[in-house]
Amino acid sequence: MSADTDTKDQVAALGEKYKYGFVTDIEMDKAPKGLNADIVRFISAKKDEPEWMLEWRLAAFRRWGEMTEPNWARLRYNKIDYQDAYYYAAPKSTEKYKDLDEVDPKLLETYKKLGIPLSEQKMLAGVAVDAVFDSVSVATTFKGKLNEAGVIFCPMSEAIRDYSDLVRKYLGTVVPVTDNFFATLNSAVFSDGTFVYVPKGVRCPMELSTYFRINASQTGQFERTLIVADEGSYVSYLEGCTAPMRDENQLHAAVVELVALEGAEIKYSTVQNWYPGDENGKGGIYNFVTKRGDCRGARSKISWTQVETGSAITWKYPSCILRGDDSVGEFYSIAITNNYQQADTGTKMIHLGKNTRSRIISKGISAGKAQNTYRGLVSVHAKAANARNYTQCDSLLIGSQCGAHTVPYIESRNPTARLEHEATTSKIAEDQLFYCLQRGLTAEEAVALIVNGFCKEVLQQLPMEFAVEAQKLVGISLEGSVG
């Protein structure tokens, strides 16, 4: 049964239905508010998906209906009304402006500080950019090089059509459809995302970045990313979410799955700067994300690096399943919360194979009235002889109204495991600030410098071009936190 026939039949069938069901909406490229099986069918049809994909989504949707939203995280937010949202629509923030003048000046100021070129600023702010701009040609040379190496790097919707077998083989094998409330929701309604496949023995010739791809197609609030590194391959993937959306408490529920086969290595870096809400805690993204990597083969390695500065709520635990013997998992995290932001983030390192090693470095920075929680699990299963973990959780508080919390869970069923955990909580000392001010830095520059120093071990993990942006972001996200 070829994917093509699947697709055609499916579209034909659904096309009929939707012509009647959502006529105007189709013209508007938007499904009506709310969530039901027809919406799921609509999304699948819009994407020309093969039947298996639709079935997959529908199964997820049925399952989701039986699940309840988790409430174990240290997060407080208004109840999300899942029927009061659009599941297929151009989100408000990506409405096209005719001119940069129409865009919120605060937003532009942020872009300027980040040093984002004007053409990209327009793209990020959702300004209609005419015809060609620089990155189009960049994207083309880029595609050519990847093709030569045999690397597949394309939107998920395209992959589902063009590489159906590959996607089908791996999708949902790391984060099962039934994994958790938000992942299951994502499985039902995911809009788009990225698919990467690196063939055996190939070292991906460049850092892959969603920046390039977002230029080509706007990804939605429910991205689905799948990266498969075949035996002995290497890939570094960068995900930048520097497009702050300006919606009221918009839900963002992405799923990322990584599969590293024998001897493969995946490095996944994120700089997340979704809209955090205003100084009074109004608005901001609810970021409920499931990210997990499976070190499926022996000697494989998965390394997560995240810089989380945005979102009103962050619920995110990029994890590693260390299945293959001698596999390695790493988690490097910076989570910054200011004003009324809340973050509950950390990782799970599941040691299944022998001689598996993991390393967790978490830096939480809290300012204003924000709450920042590190939540982590290190689990060593019975067969994981000689498993090793090193965990270091450092919290930095700015001001006296914010909170930092560390919730480390450790389970070990193998006596040969060696697990180390270190945690510190500190404040920016007055004498450090004074010293910086006396040497001419403003209070904001001083905080940015001190916090960047505090985060250094994690920032060092980022690819160069991202590190610079992330450093600036650290400063920007803490503006107004002192003096």
Partner 1 sequence: MLEIKNLHANVGDKEILKGLTLTIETGKVHAIMGPNGSGKSTLSYVLAGREGYTVTAGSITYNGEDLLALKTEERAAKRIFLAMQYPVEIPGVTTMNFLKTALNAQRRARGESEYDAISILKLVRAKARVLQVNEEMLKRALNVGFSGGEKKRLEILQMSLFEPKLAVLDETDSGLDIDALKLVAEGVNALRSPERSMLVITHYQRLLDYIVPDRIHVLANGRMVAEGGKELAHELEATGYGDLGKVPA
Contact with partner 1 (CB under 8 A) among 359, 437, 463, 472: 437
Number of chain positions touching partner 1 (CB under 8 A): 23
| Shortest distance in whole angstroms from residue 435 CB to partner 1 | 4
Residue placing its CB nearer to partner 1 in the complex, 410 or 441: 441
Contact with partner 1 (CB under 8 A) among 445, 466, 473, 481: 445
DSSP class of 128: P
For helices 3-21 and 51-65, what crossing angle results, to 10°?
Answer: 60
Contact with partner 1 (CB under 8 A) among 114, 285, 328, 436: 436
Residue placing its CB nearer to partner 1 in the complex, 84 or 430: 430
Of residues 367, 303, 302, the one with CA closest to residue 340: 367
Write out the H or E segment, with its range, that includes residue 308: strand 301-308
Query: Which residue has tokens 């570094």?
Result: 236
Q: Is 483 helix (H, G, I), strand (E, B) or coil?
A: coil
| Shortest distance in whole angstroms from residue 432 CB to partner 1 | 5
| Shortest distance in whole angstroms from residue 14 CB to partner 1 | 55
Angle, vertex CA 349, rays to CA 415 and CA 169, nearest 5: 120
> Which region, judged by CB under 8 A, interacts with partner 1, from 7-15, 118-126, 306-314, 434-442?
434-442
By CB under 8 A, residue 439 contacts partner 1: yes
| Shortest distance in whole angstroms from residue 449 CB to partner 1 | 6
Contact with partner 1 (CB under 8 A) among 450, 462, 467, 473: 450
Tokens representing residue 352 in the block: 């299944």
| Shortest distance in whole angstroms from residue 424 CB to partner 1 | 11
Contact with partner 1 (CB under 8 A) among 174, 455, 462, 467: 455
Residue 375 CA to residue 103 CA, distance in Å, equals: 37
Question: 226 and 171 in contact (C-beta within 8 Å)?
Answer: yes
By CB under 8 A, residue 453 contacts partner 1: yes
By CB under 8 A, residue 409 contacts partner 1: no
Question: 231 and 263 in contact (C-beta within 8 Å)?
Answer: yes
By CB under 8 A, residue 456 contacts partner 1: yes
Contact with partner 1 (CB under 8 A) among 65, 248, 382, 435: 435
By CB under 8 A, residue 79 contacts partner 1: no
Residue placing its CB nearer to partner 1 in the complex, 81 or 431: 431
Of residues 435, 390, 427, the one with CA closest to residue 408: 390
Residue 106 CA to residue 356 CA, distance in Å, equals: 47
Of residues 363, 291, 303, the one with CA closest to residue 330: 303
Query: Which residue has tokens 């001119």?
Result: 99
Residue 89 CA to residue 464 CA, distance in Å, equals: 35
By CB under 8 A, residue 423 contacts partner 1: no
Provide the 10 A C-beta neighbour count for residue 12.
Answer: 10
Contact with partner 1 (CB under 8 A) among 58, 410, 449, 468: 449
For the chain, the first-to-last Cα distance in angstroms comes to 66
By CB under 8 A, residue 307 contacts partner 1: no
What does the binding site for partner 1 look like in residue numbers (CB under 8 A)? 429-432, 434-443, 445, 449-450, 452-457
